[in-house]
Amino acid sequence: MINPKQGLHSFARIYQAKNTPPNARAKVFGNFAAQLADSDAVHETDAMMLQNAQEQYSINTIEEMAALARMDARKGTAFLKNIGLAPDMQTRILGLLDKVPEGKEILQEIERYEKLNYSFGCDLDFSSPPPDENFLRPAQAGGVTFGAAPPGAVPPGSVPGGAGLAAPTAGVNLIDGYMPPIRDQANRGTCVAFTCVACLEYYMARFRGQSVDLSEQFQFWNMVTSTGQRNLVSGFPLLKNSGVCREQTWPYYGNVIPPNDDQGPPPAPALAEAPAFRSRDVRQISARSVSAIQDELRQARLVGIGIPVYQSWFNSGIVRQRGNITVPLPGEVPMPIGHAITLVGFMDDPDFAGGGYFIVRNSWDHYWATLSVLGSGYGTIPYRYISNFNWDAWSIIA
Amino acid sequence: MQKAGHPLREIAGFDQNLVARLRDELSVTTAEEFVGLWHSSPVELSNMLGGEQRTSGLALLAKSALSKEEIESLTRSENSDYPFKTGHEAPPSGKQTF
């Protein structure tokens, strides 16, 4: 059988070389793989992220990674970050390649191909919902259905029971082609806005065929000026009543500007534009009902929740790496301010307190859950946390 | 989902009742998670497990399952300079939910 990536240096090969005695690496794997294994360019802690890149994006060689790293460096894109790799991966990969002869050749070859111009000429119709192509079909992995949309959650134009639908299972994972990229609230206490907007963006992409980047800044300003509060019960109804303008109309700025907490007023077009991007209805769900939240997710509706935060998981290095939030210890006092996050799936699993977990989408960029098996930025919260401590839960129903 | 890490059930000194209790009450099943708890909330963890001496002994056992690199990696994550801001107000006084 032909290996379509023959001659490229896979990360698996580099890890194999790392597991081989240093004096035998070059003989078994060649000079270049041995140099990569000897260097600090690929860490043991990268393994899960690289496995994820292989499974999700079919990217599994140093050459493919280097091409993306160059693109990020030259064009300011964030491909490596978006596929879940560590923030310093670009520097590590390009730095090493630039130091060794074979690496320099690889970079020169990539550069040569970057200069080629490829023309294409396919008209795209952005006014219609995307077709339900194969890449959006649900997929099974690790007992979880990725992108499942049960009956009742049918995108406009789809036929119930047709392609793109899957029977409800013991687990749902909505991290699919409709899910917007992980976002970053940075230095501001704006998690509520990020949760509201994530739910609206997903809803619009999935059920209206409209993929749009909406403004967390607008939502935060609207919530604070309209209600004086910072919670989901104030934020979610505004998705219906006011809508949210596009990110490009009022971009989010991640640093605090004292004393202007909401960073208003909005630019003139924002208020006029927002009603074009709003939900028709939102619903508050019984906050501590695991089954009620599961029912929403089975209908492909993301669920925004507000939770108390505890030091036991908030400051834990392993939770920051893997993203598996743990239940607070007995007698533990919550921190003064809670957090809003988005639930994007669930799975019954006896290894988690309460018999399963919800999949969490956070708004701490890829700095949280850096090594999560679900992809960086995504973690889990056990059913028990929800049933015992959750404050609030909302979804968009129309 | 199999959590990545070193399962507590495979570490001698963590009896199966304790392993089950940590799993069912806290959702803690790996040595990494136990060490994380010991670092972030030692007092509450000691109170739960019946004293500081026993708990620090268990933490040492859990740590012994981890390599030096793994411990360093956890420490780096604990000391991350990312702000991890939150921002959701609690329910009104006296209420547990909204």
pLDDT tens by residue, A168-191: 358 999 999 999 999 999 999 999
Residue A146 is predicted with a pLDDT of 45
pTM of the model: 0.69
Residue A135 pLDDT > 70: no
How far apart (Å, rounded) are the C-alpha atoms in residues A368 and A378? 8
Residue A352 pLDDT > 90: yes
State the best of B9, B38, B86, B97 to mutate against chain A, taking most chain A CBs within 10 Å: B86
Residue A168 is predicted with a pLDDT of 39
Residue A115 is predicted with a pLDDT of 67
Residue A398 is predicted with a pLDDT of 97
Residue A65 is predicted with a pLDDT of 82
The pLDDT-based confidence of A161 (bands split at 50, 70, 90) is very low
Residue A123 pLDDT > 60: no
Q: Residues A47-84: pLDDT tens digits? A: 777 877 776 666 777 887 888 888 777 777 777 777 77
Maximum average pLDDT range among A43-57, A97-111, A123-137, A212-226? A212-226
Residue A217 pLDDT > 90: yes
Asked if A373 and B44 come within 8 Å (Cβ–Cβ), the reply is no
Question: Whole-number mean pLDDT of chain A?
Answer: 84
Asked if A316 and B75 come within 8 Å (Cβ–Cβ), the reply is no
Question: Whole-number mean pLDDT of chain B?
Answer: 96
Q: In 3D, which of A184, A289, A285, A175 has the Cα closest to residue A236?
A: A285
Residue B98 pLDDT > 50: yes
Q: Nearest CA to CA, how far is B65 from chain A (Å)?
A: 15
Q: Residues A325-346: pLDDT tens digits? A: 999 999 999 999 999 999 999 9
**Does any CB of chain B come closer than 8 Å to the CB of residue A322?**
yes
Taking contacts as CB-CB distances below 8 angstroms, the residues of chain B near A347 are: 1
Query: Measured between CB atoms, which of B1, B27, B47 is closest to A327?
Result: B27
Residue A286 is predicted with a pLDDT of 98
